[in-house]
Homo-oligomer: A and B are copies of this chain.
Amino acid sequence: MTANTPTSTSKRDRVHALMQRAQQDITQAFAELDGQATFRPHTWQRAEGGGGTAMVLEDGAVFDKAGVNVSAVYGKQVPPSLAKQHPQSAGQPFFATGLSMVIHTKNPYAPAFHANYRYFEVGDGTSDSNIWWFGGGADLTPNYAFEDDIHSFHSTLKSLCDRHTTADYNTFKTTCDDYFYLKHRREMRGIGGIFFDELSAVGDGDWAQDLAFVEDGLNTIVPSYLPLVARHKDDAYGERERQWQLYRRGRYVEFNLVYDRGTLFGLQTDGNIEAILMSLPPLVRWQFDYQPESGSPEAEMLSYLQPRDWC
């Protein structure tokens, strides 16, 4: 916080308010594009402290399922897995807030999307903590490879990073490629994006600068993704494309249930199960030993599921 932005609210409250504002802006923009279905709020409490609100739109004109969850939770003791990473936080109270969202489109030619921005702070909030970090990112999962879309998505994220000295697109892009990788399928979940565990290493960051990047990141969600949906939402498609979309969604489920740290952490720590599994697609298909026809657009998509330079 710099001297010329005086405020009576705590850091954690400011970040939480930012997440809530972003949730409102994002759901409004998505509902407008859908034009048919609306987001329904689902508010949940956490026994140990805190809670959240999942806004979920189902079976719309444009979106099969769109979920945007904002939570703010706290507890008396930093969870063991985080205390191991940051020994100086062990045994201390903590606070965490974040926005996470997953979008599954109706039209198979429009990509699926995921974004997550989060803030973690050690302490009880009565005084400024110096153990805090921001994490997050955004990634795209198309069923068909439109190079213009992929370029556009990555360029928008690169511009975002380039506007902030605290961020580095190349590092975040590589982290994203590594993270969203299904080892057992030897393929990425989609075509990547950006991802960072700790925007600045603990003790190393400028809070206001990091917050400014996260705010910009949240504001970039709509312009990075929604134009791609608008471009493809009315593309003509048939049973073949729909079946391929449902099949590819199987990979999404496999990734989220087998690898995704947030999901597994939530399941292990008795998190709100509906908010955690909000990411799962509404309809999914598995087919034994399926291989798309050689030379088809479906087969072509597979070649895009390995790390590649997009900017």
Which A residues have a C-beta under 8 Å from some C-beta of B?
A: 42, 54, 56, 58, 65, 67, 183-185, 246, 250, 253-254, 257-258, 264, 267, 270, 273-274, 276-278, 280-289
Contacts and interface: CB of A to CB of B under 8 A. Distances in A.
Contacts of A67: 288
Given A42-B288, A281-B286, 4 more contacts: A185-B273, A250-B280, A257-B257, A282-B285
A288 B65 contact: yes
Nearest to A284: B284
A89 to B, nearest CB: 26
Contacts of A289: 42, 56, 274
A258 B254 CA distance: 9
A287 B278 CA distance: 8
A283 B281 contact: no
A288 B58 contact: yes
B258 A253 contact: no
Nearest to A186: B273
- The 3 A-B pairs at the shortest CB distance, nearest first, are namely A257-B257, A280-B286, A184-B267
A13 to B, nearest CB: 28
B284 A283 contact: yes
21 contacts: A42-B289, A56-B289, A58-B287, A65-B288, A183-B267, A184-B267, A184-B276, A250-B280, A253-B257, A253-B284, A254-B257, A257-B257, A258-B264, A258-B267, A274-B289, A277-B286, A280-B286, A282-B285, A282-B287, A283-B285, A284-B286
Contacts of A277: 254, 286
Contact of A274 (B254, B257, B273, B288): B288
Contacts of A183: 267
A56 B288 contact: yes
A276 B258 CA distance: 13
A270 B183 CA distance: 9
Nearest to A289: B274
Contacts of A287: 58, 282
A68 to B, nearest CB: 12
Contacts of A258: 257-258, 264, 267
Given A42-B288, A257-B253, A288-B42, A283 B283 contact: yes
B286 A282 contact: yes
Given A267-B258, A283-B283, A184 B288 contact: no
A57 to B, nearest CB: 9
Contacts of A285: 282-284
A97 B289 CA distance: 22
B283 A288 contact: no
B278 A288 contact: yes
Most B-side CB within 10 Å, residue of A42, A67, A283: A283
